[in-house]
Chain A
Amino acid sequence: MDTLVKSINDNILQGQHKIVEVKTQEALNSGIAPKVILDEGMIAAMAEVGRLFEIGEYFVPEMMVAARAMKAGLALLKPQLVKANVKSLGKVGIGTVQGDLHDIGKNLVGIMLEGAGYEILDLGTDVSPEKFVEAVKTDKVDALALSALLTTTMPNMISTIAALEQAGMRKQVKVMIGGAPITEEYARQIGADGYAPDASRAVTLAKILIPAV
């Protein structure tokens, strides 16, 4: 691995966003292909963050500062990726279901999916079933990621899946769910395609659900 790319990777793992920004610019200036910087510097680092989270060495704060560092570099990289016609792994529409304003879990999942190479359409909080359907229709998302914090808003995941079915769009999109009261069993009960207990495993689930381009 190129020294600059390795430095980007290392500094993402250490949450050093200012250094990542500088090193990404240096890497671009030195002519390293944007896709190499993305794949080996950023996506590989975030995959390692996910691994460390899953084995209990990293916790949410480490994940967040690593993601902040990755985003600092990605902001510089994105225009170059567009120029080079580098495709994302897929597009995920993400939102907290209707009735729920909480967004921390949703944001973490979005950050980790973006860090894994997915394009994120953030639908926000308190998202109605109709708005989720619209994201499938208009924005052609490959998957919807639904978050719920409250036992009282969990049923709005059912309403969202029902709205997708009613609109004839259910087969066009994968539905993944998560949140404090959500379980694997609940995902099965309501006909979701999958459940992820945390942001790292949301990436693993997305890789299973969304076929590689």
Chain B
Amino acid sequence: MTIAPCRPKWAGTMTDRDRFNRQMHYQPVDRSFNMEFGYWEENYKQWPMFVKNGITNELEANHYFSFDRIWTISGNVWLYPSFANQIVEERATTTVIMNEDGVLAEVPKDRHDTIPHFLKPTVVTPADWQRVKAERLQRNDPARKMDIEALKFFDPVDRDFPLGIWCGSMIGKIRDMLTFEGLAYAIYDYPEMIEDMVETACVLVEDSLDQLLPHFKLDFAAGWEDICYKGGPIVSPRFFREIVMPRYKRISRKLHAAGVDIWYMDCDGDVRPILPAMMEGGVNCLFPFEVNGCSHPSELLDEYGKDLRIMGGVDKIELGKGREAIKAYLQTLIPLVERGGYIPFCDHRCPPNVDPDDYLYYLDLKEELYGMKR
């Protein structure tokens, strides 16, 4: 099925690439960059506009709503091969799976979106780690050699959209193998193992950057950790500063040497206790900035000034409350969009409790407030 956009692209006088770069560098723009961070799986099954138009994924949704284009290229920076995703046991209402990180996890049979119930980590002891490292984290594995020519497809000479590079995760993917509890205990029980895991994550990213950076003129770098929740980080700020941040610095040096000066970190929850170390390591943009789990974006943009950027920060809870709440919330973001260094969108995948008509209202109001309709 060919997907016809339901809205024209917002009017503008700049390319998406120029707009993104100028907005991220506090320079005047024609209008705000227009993007969203996708949807829950349920939205594709429940929202009539998605069902009716055969929209089943984020790429198709982005096309349907005519969002500005943004893309990221990536090297192979973690497990290779990853573990085979497989069903281990069927239970009454749940299925026990082994996921791609090798963790045994219980997920709902109907596969509705939720964080799984983790049952058994991949790595508990240093012996487990040595086995995984030897089998799946070899730096010289031929699969880690990038096909530069194939990736050039994403970087045509007349590219008019921002292109980023993937900088992986220094601790989030380790948490994924150890589980949340396992990581907390391992930091105490096996500190050398944990540092070796972080170092391994770092060299794999460095290797990827060494291969890719010379061949592309990139606009930003992207990373992922998801190591915070509403109550703060799941690792102590001291651990983050002493073990993780120095590796961020190494990556940042490579990025800056290649002219990439925007590095956003995808980390939900309350990042504030580790933000100073994150920024010292070179991260200068937060994504998708969960409001209920952290703060209103203005709080951190006021505190950190132009050293920090934010992408996201539209409270999904407010989106679910209806039009009055949506309008009131979006109005609070106007000064931030005008200030620069801020791109507004839903602060995570948009959940299915948001009424689809209210979502369209939200998109239209965004254009009215931050687009050229003003």
Contact = CB atoms under 8 A, between A and B. Distances in A.
A61 interface: yes
Interface in A100-114: 100-105, 107
Contact of A125 (B112, B117, B187): B117
Contact of B234 (A61, A99, A101, A183): A61
Contacts of B353: 151-152
Interface string B282-311: 000000000011000000000000000000
A42 B187 CA distance: 23
A14 B74 CA distance: 41
B236 A150 contact: no
B38 interface: no
A151 B230 contact: no
A19 B233 CA distance: 27
Interface residues of A, number: 31
A65 B185 CA distance: 6
A163 interface: no
Most buried by A among B108, B117, B292, B317: B117
B356 interface: no
A151 B42 CA distance: 13
A183 B321 CA distance: 14
A15 interface: yes
Contacts of B317: 151, 181, 183
16 contacts: A58-B236, A59-B236, A59-B237, A60-B229, A60-B233, A61-B235, A61-B239, A62-B236, A100-B114, A102-B116, A126-B108, A151-B316, A151-B320, A151-B353, A152-B351, A198-B231
A198 B230 contact: yes
Interface of A: 15, 56, 58-62, 64-65, 68, 99-105, 107, 125-126, 149-153, 180-181, 183, 197-199
For the complex of A and B, the 8 pairs showing the least CB-CB separation, nearest first, are A61-B184, A101-B117, A198-B231, A64-B184, A102-B115, A59-B236, A151-B351, A65-B188
Contacts of B181: 64, 104, 107
B107 interface: yes
Interface in B216-245: 229-237, 239
Given A149-B115, A151-B316, A198-B231, A101 B108 contact: yes
B140 interface: no
B232 A59 contact: yes
Contact of B93 (A15, A59, A126, A199): A126
B141 interface: no
Contacts of A99: 108, 112, 114
Contact of B232 (A60, A101, A104, A152): A60
B91 to A, nearest CB: 11
A97 to B, nearest CB: 11
Q: Quick one: which of B107, B187, B230, B237 has the most chain A CB within 10 A? A: B230
